[in-house]
């Protein structure tokens, strides 16, 4: 799908097919989440990903698993210890998280959202498998919209405002320039301020210039940009900049986690290099 402008969200969707196949490969999703395009792209990129892993110790699938499983662990904690019963996953793509968590927690209301075309595809997928019901739904949203029925306010309109909520975005943040994504975070923090307790879970790739594989990381980032017909800017330089950025957007409490430091608890092999991805847990 061609990029319409620097402020367009449309170029994100192709990567959803690739990650959908990765989740399936690692037994996190049923085969219904696999698309022919996702399987094709994974096969096409396999020589490159193998070379990055063998030559530089950069394992793209390990990075994807780190962020995914760390968010899963934080969501599990919010449900089991924080009493959360409503979850909103924005830019859900072909993520199997909603399916897995609704099956595990029958009390949970799970609202998935994405751009109209991807939302329609996800809705058809879940409906075809008999997984959609009153507590598991899919809606259309555009995180850049400030008016209309695809804005954040419309997405949150039907949630129970007297109950805590968790909002998730995964594989979204680094597709946008910092000014645009901070605008989204500010609108999101404003919406979450209407709930008695609210948590936002996301991941980002900081601009870690001191990392021993920084040059290879930049090469990989440029490749992602070409594949998605967009850009993939790296935001912030360190922990303090991340915390300051989220607080500037209206989040009162910000925790920055390095999933590679928690690999064993997440069921992953230890990393030979410092982590590249950070998972953020921000509360209003």
Asked whether residue 64 is assigned to any structural domain, the reply reads yes
**22, 219, 282 from 44: Cα distances, Å:** 13, 17, 36
Number of domains in the chain: 1
Lookup result for tokens 């399936």: 24
SS3 118: helix
Asked if residue 113 belongs to a domain, the reply is: yes
| CATH code of the domain covering residue 132 | 3.40.50.150
Contact assessment for residue 58 and residue 129, using Cβ atoms and an 8 Å cutoff: no
Full domain range(s) for residue 127: 10-283
Amino acid 2: pLDDT: 31
pTM of the model: 0.91
Q: Give the pLDDT score at 217.
A: 67
pLDDT digits (tens, 9 = 90+) for 201-241: 999 988 877 776 767 666 666 665 555 555 668 889 899 99
Note whether residue 5 is domain-resident. Answer: no
Asked whether residue 3 is assigned to any structural domain, the reply reads no
pLDDT in tens, 58-103: 788 888 999 999 999 999 999 999 999 999 999 999 999 999 999 9
Q: 210-213 contacts: CB < 8 A, separation 24 or more? A: 211/273, 211/274, 211/276, 212/273, 212/274, 213/56, 213/57, 213/58, 213/273, 213/276
SS3 for 158-175 is: CCCCCCCEEEEECCCHHH
- Is 203 domain-assigned? yes
Distance CA 78, CA 171 (A): 21
**Given CA atoms 228, 234, 239, 243 in this order, what sign does their dihedral have?**
negative
Give domain status of residue 253, yes or no.
yes
């Amino acid at each position: 799908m061609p990029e319409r402008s620097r402020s367009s969200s449309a170029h994100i969707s192709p990567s959803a097919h690739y990650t959908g196949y990765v989740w399936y490969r690692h037994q996190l999703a049923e085969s219904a989440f696999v698309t022919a395009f996702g399987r094709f792209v994974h096969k096409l990129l396999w020589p490159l990903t193998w070379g990055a892993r063998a030559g530089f110790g950069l394992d793209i699938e390990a990075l994807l698993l780190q962020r995914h499983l760390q968010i899963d662990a934080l969501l599990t904690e919010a449900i089991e210890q924080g009493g959360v019963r409503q979850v909103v996953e924005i830019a859900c793509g072909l993520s199997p998280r909603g399916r897995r968590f609704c099956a595990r927690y029958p009390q949970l209301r799970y609202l998935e959202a994405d751009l109209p075309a991807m939302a329609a595809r996800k809705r058809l997928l879940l409906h075809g498998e008999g997984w959609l019901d009153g507590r598991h739904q899919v809606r259309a949203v555009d995180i850049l919209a400030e008016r209309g029925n695809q804005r954040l306010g419309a997405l949150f309109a039907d949630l129970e405002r007297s109950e805590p909520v968790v909002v998730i975005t995964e594989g979204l943040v680094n597709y946008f320039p910092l000014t645009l994504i901070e605008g989204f975070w500010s609108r999101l923090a404003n919406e979450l301020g209407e709930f008695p307790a609210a948590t936002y879970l996301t991941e980002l790739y900081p601009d870690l210039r001191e990392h021993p594989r920084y040059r290879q990381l930049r090469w990989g980032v440029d490749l992602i940009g070409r594949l998605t017909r967009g850009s993939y800017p790296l935001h912030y330089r360190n922990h303090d900049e991340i915390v300051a950025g989220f607080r500037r957007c209206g989040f009162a409490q910000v925790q920055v986690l390095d999933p590679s430091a928690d690999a064993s608890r997440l069921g992953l092999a230890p990393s030979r290099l410092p982590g590249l991805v950070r998972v953020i847990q921000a509360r209003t």
